[in-house]
Amino acid sequence: MKSKIILALLAVTLVGTASAQVKPEDAIKWRQSGYGFMAWNMARIKASVEGTYNKDEVIKAANAIQMVATSGMGALYLPGTDKGTGWEKTRAKPEIWTEKEKIGKAAMNLTKEANEMVTVAAAGDAAATKVQLGKLGSTCKGCHDDFKSKL
Amino acid sequence: MKSKIILALLAVTLVGTASAQVKPEDAIKWRQSGYGFMAWNMARIKASVEGTYNKDEVIKAANAIQMVATSGMGALYLPGTDKGTGWEKTRAKPEIWTEKEKIGKAAMNLTKEANEMVTVAAAGDAAATKVQLGKLGSTCKGCHDDFKSKL
């Protein structure tokens, strides 16, 4: 497990180096966009489990969340982007750049639950989707609690 | 071809109705997020064709663009969201809600070139990727010219 985390962090570091020419304000805007796009897709699943269940809609949303979660957004946390403005002022806490093992685990949790959401969505059961949405949402919240400043 | 466009527009309309409880400011923010996330992934491909080609990076970015393009963002163009503010004031032109056949074609062009980018990315040829990035980018630009206000 530990070696996997180290490998994941190494991958993030290498991609980060390759993207060194990215402007800080773009990196911040792009990562805010990724989370904003995930928020829409979480809301689509929520609407389906609270209202009329739409299997195709849930599948599309689950695939979208998985794709964002595995897109390599770690590369957008360039050195120096703990401050700055994209769509809005970044709320990234400095701990993102210091607590690497903890954030590596948070990223892996998100990926695990996003992958599971894709599996659950394909089965098309509303109750199971609701349970999995809760698990997935708790990985978002956990990371926000630790690494995102309150407004 | 025409019947396909009508079917696509019908699907957008139906999903739009199902999402009627979405707040306009959320719909605007979420669609801006989708485009912002695509912009990152276009930039990743651009960096690869202009610098050192990274096949894995291009594949990830192409998959991300395809996913956003096919995620059903048409549902976020709710009636009344030609005005309003998400991350920023919307730049959606009113023609989005009136020129339905034209925008249906624009959406299909984007999907076609995004799908082709996934195929090209898998082959891993830098020159072919550059050509396809140009084709894909021209579908973005075409839609912006017709349906997005200048700053």
B12-36: per-residue pLDDT in tens?
544 544 444 899 999 999 999 999 9
Tell me which of 3.40.50.720, 1.20.120.10, 3.30.40.10, 2.60.40.10 is the CATH number of domain A2-147. 1.20.120.10
Nearest CB partner across the interface for A39, out of B19, B30, B68? B30
Tell me if A30 and B22 make a contact (CB, 8 A cut-off).
no
The pLDDT of A13-24, averaged and rounded, is: 62
DSSP secondary structure letter of residue A75: G
Q: Name the residue among A78, B38, B34 with its Cα closest to residue B46.
A: B38
Confidence of residue B1 (pLDDT cuts 50, 70, 90): very low
Closest partner CB to A54 (pick from B18, B26, B71): B18
SS3 string, B112-136, reads HHHHHHHHHHHHCCHHHHHHHHHHH
Report, as an integer, the average pLDDT of A106-134: 98
Give the span between the Cα atoms of B5 and B103, in whole angstroms. 9
Query: Long-range pairs for A80-84 at CB < 8 Å and ≥24 separation?
Result: A80/A24, A81/A24, A81/A27, A81/A28, A84/A24, A84/A25, A84/A28
Residues of B24-60 as b/e, b for ≥16 C-beta within 10 angstroms? bebbbbbbbbbbbbbbbbbbbbebbbeeebbeebbbb
Q: Is B23 on the interface with A (CB under 8 A)?
A: no
Task: List, as ranges, residues 73-112 from A with C-beta within 8 Å of B.
Answer: 76, 87-88
pLDDT at B77 over 70: yes
Cβ <8 Å between A37 and B34: yes
The pLDDT value recorded for residue B17 is 46
Residue predicted with more confidence, A96 or A18: A96
Q: What is the pLDDT of residue A1?
A: 45
Contacts of A80 (CB under 8 A, 6+ apart): A24
- Between these two residues, B88 and B151, which has the higher pLDDT value? B88
Q: What gap in Å lies between CA B53 and CA B61, rounded to an integer?
A: 13
Closest residue in chain B to residue A29, using alpha carbons only: B36
> Hey, are the CB atoms on A40 and B33 less than 8 Å from each other?
yes
Of all helices (H) and strands (E), which one includes residue A110? helix A100-123
Distance from CA of B60 to the nearest CA of A (A): 6
Q: Are A60 and B71 in contact (CB under 8 A)?
A: yes
Share of chain A above pLDDT 70, in %: 87
Q: Which residues are within 8 A (CB) of B56 and not within 5 positions of it... i.e. 6 or more apart?
A: none
Inter-helix orientation angle A55-69/A100-123, to 10°: 160
More confidently predicted of A21 and B60: B60
Q: What percent of chain B has pLDDT over 90?
A: 84
Rounded Cα gap, residues A24 and A148, in angstroms: 18
pLDDT beyond 50 at B124: yes
% of chain B residues with pLDDT over 70: 87
pLDDT band (50, 70, 90) for residue B52: very high
ipTM over 0.90: no
* pLDDT at residue B54 greater than cutoff 70: yes
Total-model pTM = 0.87
Residue numbers in B near A22 (CB within 8 A): 43
